Amino acid sequence: MNYVTTKDNSKLYYKDWGAGRPVILLHGWPLSSDSWDDQAMAIAAAGYRTIAYDRRGFGRSSQPWTGYDYDTLADDLAAVIEHTGAQDAVLVGFSMGGGEVARYMSRHGGKNVSRAVLVSSVVPYMLKTEDNPEGVDQSVFDEMAAAMKADRAKFFHGFFKDFFGVSVLARSVSEQTLEWAWGTAMQASLKATLESAKSFATTDFRPDLAAFQVPTLVIHGADDKIVPIDAGGRPAARAIGNATLIEYDAAPHRRQVTNKDQLTRDLLDFIRR
């Protein structure tokens, strides 16, 4: 298997499919790079090199005790880009992964990146504050952390129903898909799961947005119950100078499954421009 070694000697598992201009896919919490497989296959088949890796603490990567802050996670992304020799790359960040894209753009100056995509992203700021009234109350994140500490397996059983929009979609995902997501989430370390949730809940990416000096696509579902569109997609698109926003009506958070074909088309259209 392919691994990248980070600055703190963590091992990050990655897939490297196809050939051509690189497209780097960053997964969401609490899944792994496998969650991108449908889009990764389509992008590779369309003539692009598709790179997807498991975030530290998740999937097949190392499970270190530290390093779940976004500065370290952005450095991990930089290590992947350097190790794979990716140039003129398109970064695609889903949910928590959007924060890694944003912090990489500011912390590493967008090196070797020509385009960026934020899908259901936690950017620009998830937490509700006086100057961010559309955010999510801190109490929600506190309750999530308490539930995971008490019974992580039970928590994720309920969480994925909102994640996939089971409560809002007339056509839901299969029970097997929910089981797969639950199993993937349970492979992550509890430490990584808790610390990563804290990071995406409390990190303010608004200062990072000026670093987006490349064409950027923002995709968000209007019925996203995990990252509300008014806390994520809409303000991100307004703040990024060269951004295009695509809103999916009646769409939940995890659109790689619920809007699979549409998302794949929109990604390829943007990559090909």
d(CA 123, CA 97): 9
DSSP SS3 for 49: strand
21: Cα separation from own chain's centroid: 21
Q: Given this model, what pLDDT does residue 159 score?
A: 93
Q: Global pTM?
A: 0.96
Average pLDDT of every residue of the chain: 94
Write down the residue that tokens 């500490």 correspond to.
Answer: 149
The tokens describing 169, both together, are 């979609």
> What is the per-residue pLDDT across 105-132, written as a single tens digit (0 to 9) for each?
999 999 999 999 999 999 999 999 999 9
User: What CATH number does residue 6 fall under?
Assistant: 3.40.50.1820
269 is catalytic: no
Residues 99, 123 contacting (CB under 8 angstroms):
yes
Cis omega before residue 252 (within 30°)? no
253 is catalytic: yes
Q: Which of 54, 208, 224, 266 is catalytic?
A: 224
Radius of gyration of the chain (CA): 17
259 DSSP 8-state letter: T
- Strand 22-26 to 89-94 pairing: parallel
Indicate the number of domains in the chain: 1
108 is catalytic: no
Q: Which of 33, 199, 253, 266 is catalytic?
A: 253
Structural domain span for residue 154: 2-272
Q: Which of 32, 35, 61, 95 is catalytic?
A: 95
> What is the per-residue pLDDT across 217-270, written as a single tens digit (0 to 9) for each?
999 998 888 999 999 999 999 999 999 999 998 777 766 666 788 999 999 999
d(CA 221, CA 7): 36
